[in-house]
Structure 1
């Protein structure tokens, strides 16, 4: 069964036109199995040069592109929920405007969806200044039982890599407005509802990590978000009381430690499936 695929790509004012161009080209033009439809969500006003690039990509794409223009910035979760309603097909792939998909991405993921999975993620490679500047690797759990077990402590999917069934996402209420962790909450709701989960270890996306990546994972704002997420997971019955306490202590503490400690802790506690050699390159 050959199913059709929509690509969901949000853009906001701080995205760079050249990065967007690379993301679009790699995920549409360069794919060995191209998506059948693209939805670009412009999350609020953007600079003229970025608006022009969006218009040019839509006009010249060999694949149908719909641009959803929001009058104001609503945030990633709500923007994605709006974009999902504009997708023409039930199978939807996520992509960010500053990452790069490898050419075989959908050729690898789509057969897994077509075989019955509701959500399929993959490994990713973190890169710095350029695509050949690989500084890390994040390999997710691949066994469905391991994915479900992992989800009680940490995000079991790399969000920019996922392909999922829109009906399953919308059946649990979509992303919602839970800034910074809307994807993790969505996966938890889907898993709790019985979604069929899968990951491939093969890195299929290059994920751009800029300066300050570990700094942004800490601080009081992140701590408040973390505690709010853990309350939601516990209230949903997704985590037990002991898991809730563990997560608050470990994940909450992670938000408050110095940046250098956070860099090491991220690899050892938050992303233990990651490649240790790649982690060492993060100096």
Structure 2
């Protein structure tokens, strides 16, 4: 009996969909690891997977998508977009193809821990949640261990934390499809479409919570000053920061004073040298829960 067939016969699943998006910047190796960690290695696996190919990809990545679709122990759909449309649009295309009411997000270069979905599924069913995130570990391509991303663990803390940062680690999301569709799905917001989604869901009355337990390993890429921290800076991220603050103001999560303060502080951060951003991010964001006090 083949390994794939053997896994299919023994895999325990629940009625939710795994949703992933891949693009030209992803690698076949990372995608294979991400998919297997989220399906074959789970103590409770999704019953279905939807993977969106966001525009042209390398031959190696295209071949891996075909291999995954053919060998996966669960029903797996590959949605191919002719051109790169960006993560938000890709996820909206994938969401439309998801058969189940609950959808689990996964990036193509992260790793789900074996108990991730069993733990999350039990919690969303018990508490009838619309969105559940978790803590997550970090790892990097240059073999450093940046730390762990903590999350506010209760509904009240989430509404406070959202004033300054996304209160849900985006690759850990397990959400109710209808609750996401109720706010129009993913919407364009630079690299912050997940943050914007959580803002709109909370404003719409969605029941959102977190598990403090880290259930995913998040690939932060190159953590040198020339890597991920350089990419967090510049004019476009600054503009996106201000746009996010405007949406928080419109939704009533912050007032005019907090809007000005947040825009100034977070805008300045985006223009700092990459090395300084790395130290500040590690100290105040990756390993802490900043912004939970102060003027609304």
TM-score if structure 2 supplies the norm length?
0.88
Task: Tell me what 1:254 maps to.
Answer: 269
Task: Tell me what 2:100 maps to.
Answer: 89
1:240 corresponds, among 224, 243, 255, to 255
Distance 1:270 1:171 in 2: 30
Alpha-carbon offset, residue 3 of structure 1: 5.7
Q: Identify which range, 240-249 or 76-85, moves more after superposition.
A: 240-249
Q: Residue by residue, what CA displacement relative to the aligned partner does 1:64-106 show, whole Å, maximum 9, x if unpaired?
A: 0011111111000111111111000010000000000000000
Alpha-carbon offset, residue 246 of structure 1: 1.9
Task: Tell me what 1:126 maps to.
Answer: 138
Alpha-carbon offset, residue 258 of structure 1: 1.6
**2:129 is paired with a residue of what secondary structure?**
coil
User: Residues 190 and 134 of structure 1: is their aligned pair in 2 closer, same or farther, counting only changes over 3 Å?
Assistant: same
Alpha-carbon offset, residue 175 of structure 1: 1.0
- The answer as to whether partners of 1:119 and 1:164 remain within 8 angstroms in 2 is yes
Task: Tell me what 2:46 maps to.
Answer: 35
**1:35 is paired with a residue of what secondary structure?**
strand
Tell me, yes or no, if structure 1 residue 178 matches structure 2 residue 193. no
**1:77 is paired with a residue of what secondary structure?**
helix
Structure 1: 4+ residue segments shifted above 6 A: none
Q: Identify which range, 234-243 or 185-194, moves more after superposition.
A: 234-243
Q: Residue by residue, what CA displacement relative to the aligned partner does 1:120-165 show, whole Å, maximum 9, x if unpaired?
A: 11111111248x8533111101011001110111110110011000
- The answer as to whether partners of 1:118 and 1:195 remain within 8 angstroms in 2 is yes
Distance 1:230 1:270 in 2: 17
Task: Tell me what 1:231 maps to.
Answer: 246
Distance 1:264 1:129 in 2: 18
Q: Residue by residue, what CA displacement relative to the aligned partner does 1:42-67 show, whole Å, maximum 9, x if unpaired?
A: 00111111111001001100100011
- The answer as to whether partners of 2:135 and 2:211 remain within 8 angstroms in 1 is yes
Task: Tell me what 1:267 maps to.
Answer: 282
Alpha-carbon offset, residue 220 of structure 1: 1.4
Tell me, yes or no, if structure 1 residue 56 matches structure 2 residue 44. no
- The answer as to whether partners of 1:141 and 1:273 remain within 8 angstroms in 2 is no
- The answer as to whether partners of 1:76 and 1:179 remain within 8 angstroms in 2 is no
Alpha-carbon offset, residue 227 of structure 1: 1.4
**1:32 is paired with a residue of what secondary structure?**
coil
Tell me, yes or no, if structure 1 residue 18 matches structure 2 residue 33. no
Alpha-carbon offset, residue 179 of structure 1: 2.2
Tell me, yes or no, if structure 1 residue 200 matches structure 2 residue 211. yes
Superposition RMSD in Å: 1.6
Task: Tell me what 1:221 maps to.
Answer: 236
Q: Which runs of 5+ in 2 are unaligned?
A: 1-12, 290-296
TM-score if structure 1 supplies the norm length?
0.92
- The answer as to whether partners of 1:153 and 1:243 remain within 8 angstroms in 2 is no
